[in-house]
Structure 1
Amino acid sequence: MKKIRHEAELVKAAILAGMKYGEERGAVIFEPTDSASEKILFIYRLLVHDKQIQPLPEDQVSQQSMRHKLAIWYSKQLPADHPLLK
C-alpha cells in the first residue's frame, strides 16, 4: 500500500462525505454513538456495493486498508489544486 500524503485528513473528510452520500442515498442514518470504525466499514461496503470503489480481497480487508481506500476515493473527488493533494 502506497503512503498518501495527508491521509489522516483525507480519511476524516472521506468519512464525512461518505456519511452524507449514504444518508442522501437513503441507505443509512448514522447515529452519534456510531464509532469511526463502524462508519468506515459501512461506507466502504456501501461504496463497493455501488461500484464507486474496487473491493479488496476479503482476506485483505482491515481497518487500515479500508481507511486507505476511502482516502483514495475522496482524493479523486477533489480538484487538482486542493491543499490536501499537495
Structure 2
Amino acid sequence: MKKLDNEKELVKKALRVGSVYAEKRGAAKFEANDSAADRMLYIYRLLVHDKLVQPLPEDQVSQKSIQHKLALWASRLD
C-alpha cells in the first residue's frame, strides 16, 4: 500500500464528507465526542455497504488500511 502525498488532508476531507453523507442518508448522527477512529470505521462500513468502496478482506481491516481507503475515496470526489 503506497502512501498518498497528501493522505492526511484527504482523510480529514473523507471524515467531513463522509459524516455529511451518513447524516443526510439518515444512517448516523455523529456527536462531538465521537472519536475519529470510530467515525472512520463507521464511514468505511457505510461506504462498503453502499458499494461506494471496495471492501478489504476482514483480516486486513486496520486503522491504517481504513485511513488509506478513505483517502483514496476522498481523492476521487473532485
> What is the TM-score normalised by the length of structure 1?
0.89
Q: Does 2:54 align with 1:54?
A: yes
RMSD value, Cα = 0.4
List, as ranges, runs of 4+ consecutive aligned residues in structure 1 with deviation greater than 2 Å.
Answer: none
In the alignment, which residue of structure 2 is the partner of 1:68? Answer: 68
Q: Does 2:4 align with 1:29?
A: no
Displacement of 1:10: 0.4
Q: Within 1, Cα distance between the matches of 2:5 and 2:57?
A: 24
Q: How many residue pairs get matched? A: 78
Which structure 2 segments of 5+ residues have no match? none
Amino acid at match of 2:3: K
Which structure 1 segments of 5+ residues have no match? 79-86
> What is the TM-score normalised by the length of structure 2?
0.98
* Identity level (%): 60
Amino acid at match of 1:62: S
